Amino acid sequence: MTTNDSAQTTPKAPAKDPWDLPDVSGLVVGVLGGTGPQGKGLAYRFARAGQKVILGSRAAERARAAADELGLGIEGADNAECARRSDVVIVAVPWDGHGATLEALREDLAGKLVIDCVNPLGFDKKGAYALKPEEGSAAEQAAALLPDSRVTAAFHHLSAVLLADPEVEEIDTDVMVLGESRADTDLVQALAARVPGMRGVFAGRLRNAHQVESLVANLISTNRRYKAHAGLRVTDV
């Protein structure tokens, strides 16, 4: 038997089913900048799905007021406490404050699964356009600033208006999930799947986050033309 023959007879481990996702129902979800429309909307949807949620803010009292408004057992805290008490931390601050916020929270975010949903965009009279962060993307800036965290990127293409509307039962959209480790992107996909109608789809490593963040400029143009809250579906997966 040649070496080649023996390689052919070695049984291969079966490929892992990409839809076999972990149970994330026990994880605490924190939202930095959780007093804004995106953070508050995500917090509402996850809490409505039964997840424990902590809203973060630069001012604890603002976070507590927003949490009280939402109900569903959501708590409010300053961003540092929100990060420390959560297993998964969504970054939902404006691009302007992104770097400084994460730099200040480096220790609080150590060991955490961080999900960046920040879209670096500019606006002028022609509409929205993608900015070009020095690190490549907001997500890559987060990864550079948080060497002790597990940084992923997701939830860029959601409409905060739909997230916040209690009459909307299902959020009809796919969520593109990016990251360096399959275990982490599987967790984020599983979290997305907690929201009825929503599905997390793996979309590559963080070096490809720029396109995903930038695509929001296109969706904003679509929304303006059609007076819509456009979402995305990835077909044939």
Q: How far is the CB of 15 from ligand NAP (least distance, A)?
A: 32
46, 48, 113, 119: which one contacts ligand NAP (CB under 6 A)? 119
Coil, strand, or helix at residue 236? coil
C-alpha dihedral over 217, 223, 228, 234, to 10 degrees?
-40
CB 68, CB 76: distance < 8 Å: yes
Distance CA 111, CA 148 (A): 6
Site for ligand NAP in 58-77 (CB under 6 A): 58-59, 62
27, 29, 33, 206: which one contacts ligand NAP (CB under 6 A)? 33
24, 29, 31, 38: which one contacts ligand NAP (CB under 6 A)? 38
* Alpha-carbon distances of 137 from 125, 132, 185, rounded to whole Å: 24, 7, 18
22, 37, 73, 127: which one contacts ligand NAP (CB under 6 A)? 37
21, 49, 72, 95: which one contacts ligand NAP (CB under 6 A)? 95
Distance CA 94, CA 8 (A): 53
| Window of 36-44, 69-77, 125-133, 141-149 that interacts with ligand NAP by CB under 6 A | 36-44
27, 88, 117, 151: which one contacts ligand NAP (CB under 6 A)? 117
* CA contacts within 13 A on the Cβ side of 178: 24
- Residue 137 interacts with ligand NAP (CB under 6 A)? no
Q: At what angle do helices 95-104 and 138-145 cross, to 10 degrees?
A: 10
Binding site for ligand NAP (CB under 6 A): 33, 35-39, 57-59, 62, 92-97, 101, 117-119, 156, 158-160
